[in-house]
Structure 1
Amino acid sequence: MIRFVLVIACVVPLTLALLPLHILALRYGWRIQRSIPHLYHRIVCRLIGVRIRQVGRRSGTGPVLILANHVSWLDICVISAMAPVSFVAKSEVAGWPVFGALAKWQRTVFIDRQARHRTGAATAEIGTRLKAGEAIVLFAEGTSSDGSRVLPFRSALIGAVHHALGDDSDTTVGVQPMAVTYTGFGGLPIGRELRDRVAWYGDAELIPHFIGLLSAGAIDVTVSWGEPILHTSDRKAIARDAETSVRRMCEAARRAGMQGAIAPRPGVAAPQAGAQFEPA
């Protein structure tokens, strides 16, 4: 609990310091509106004790729809610490205390899953944002999991890519899979018995989970970038290919995490070829 209090004592002033500038940036359309959340979450990850290991890289610098798995509310901090992005979230998130406000300030696109007729408007907004050159993260499972498996990817909102293209042949929107895999908690490798300490899913209450995670001390996570998916007119094929890629990357990250835990030398194991540790 002491660690939790110390983390909050640092995060609150940080939030209050950056928030006025960010609100002004949103109001007047300043370009730093994308970089402020990126900086904010890098600092927050450091304060929490999140250690990010990156495998691969984002392909290019143009607009991209990132299809990721979803394990915890901490995914938002981790992914935002990697790159300036916006997210797609269920409409209920907008009403959450604190978290809802932070989501709005990061220009999250909210989806009302109970009203299918509104999905088209959300898809159009995603497409417009992509066409403007943004990176949008879609948690393609549609919900969070326990972290031990990847749920089937849903294809409905992938149609936003096609909307972004429209009749403009000069606009190229990429689709790239991303896998978020938590491999260490409190200095221990994450097995099934520790996954619930990180994963936030089902009926788990947010506040107790939030306090427990911030009190952990050290959380290791691997963020893996997959190969870009070729643009096709079949959104179901895109979802299927992305799901396969994310599942493979999660399995590889878990194996690497376990091997690092038993490596016969102090410190963390040497990263795989192409891997890089991010000082988030």
Structure 2
Amino acid sequence: MNEQKPLQAEQISFFRLLGSWSRIGVHVLAGIFTLCFIFSWIDAQSKKRHIQKWSAHLLAIFEIELKVYGGQLLPKSPYLLVANHISWLDIHAINSYHPLRFVAKSEVAGWPIFGWMAKQLGTVFVRRESARHARAVVGEIAQVLQKDSICIFPEGTSSLGNMVLPFRPNLFEAALVAQVPLYPLAIRYVSRVTGEKTTIPAFVGDMGLLESMVQVLKNPRLGVELHFLPPISPTDEDALDRKQLALYSQECISRQI
């Protein structure tokens, strides 16, 4: 009787990836079903619970552990959240803790499935190469801030996470128009093995979404940290203008990452 040979590491990795893709597929289908057949019948708070649960499960599939610092700073009233941008995972990490609406680059709207889902969740899209369009979007964001919090990624693109790129000031005007506080958020991805920062989840350059997903799946045991920082209020007597708000937020986040 021939003995069975043990599975090689490559085979184990293949089957693990296959299982992960299967879980992702089922999870995405569940999200589509919820958006198509459930969201139109439930209230805003129930929607947020569904979003939070869905995003948390997605992180679990990718074996990403979420840690939150300073979350108690966030108010119940609307605010503008300003974050550095590293990965497509950023949005899901934030939603896993506290669901809110987002401003995303217009390219996201064209992503298969995920772009459609972003539209259904009320994402505001901005053409990052057009300062004129960004200024036009300010009014839309300010209107959203009358009743909901919203998050922007003012670098205008994603980075490796080793540094914070200069913040574009246009969208900061929305906080001044809506008279809501601004909360900086520093996002960090780390290896849960070494505890050091990692660039594995970085979604940069010409990298495609599927390519990025494969890279994360092949490198499990990652962690994402959300560091919510003290707010900046546009109603203060010494309130900053949009350029000063952008620079101050960038400096706050840079010190944290």
SS in 2 for 1:207: helix
Cα drift, residue 29 of structure 1? 7.1
d(CA) in 1 for partners of 2:131, 2:247: 22
d(CA) in 2 for partners of 1:82, 1:38: 7
Give 1:125-164 correspondences, 5 Å limit.
Answer: 125-132=140-147, 134-164=148-178
d(CA) in 2 for partners of 1:33, 1:124: 25
Partner of 1:30: 43
Give 1:19-168 correspondences, 5 Å limit.
Answer: 19-24=32-37, 26-27=39-40, 30-31=43-44, 32-57=46-71, 58-132=73-147, 134-165=148-179
- Indicate yes or no: 2:30 matched with 1:17: yes
Cα drift, residue 246 of structure 1? 0.5
Residue of structure 2 aligned with 1:210, choices 190, 208, 213 = 213
- Indicate yes or no: 2:187 matched with 1:180: yes
Deviations 1:78-130 (A, max 9, x none): 11111111111111110111221222122110002344443344212211111
d(CA) in 2 for partners of 1:2, 1:215: 12
After the TM superposition, which parts of structure 1 deviate over 6 Å for at least 4 consecutive aligned residues? Answer: none
The count of aligned residue pairs is: 238
d(CA) in 1 for partners of 2:246, 2:38: 34
The TM-score normalised by the length of structure 2 is 0.84
Contact 2:79 2:145 in 1 (8 A): yes
d(CA) in 2 for partners of 1:181, 1:106: 25
Cα drift, residue 26 of structure 1? 4.8
- Indicate yes or no: 2:251 matched with 1:248: no
d(CA) in 2 for partners of 1:68, 1:60: 17
d(CA) in 2 for partners of 1:76, 1:52: 12
Unaligned runs of 5+ in 2: 1-13
Q: Output the aligned Cα RMSD.
A: 2.1
SS in 2 for 1:178: strand
Cα drift, residue 222 of structure 1? 1.4
The TM-score normalised by the length of structure 1 is 0.78
d(CA) in 2 for partners of 1:116, 1:26: 34
d(CA) in 1 for partners of 2:77, 2:155: 24
Unaligned runs of 5+ in 1: 166-172, 251-280
Identity %, equivalent residues: 30
Partner of 1:223: 226
Contact 1:65 1:138 in 2 (8 A): yes
Cα drift, residue 24 of structure 1? 4.5
d(CA) in 2 for partners of 1:3, 1:109: 36
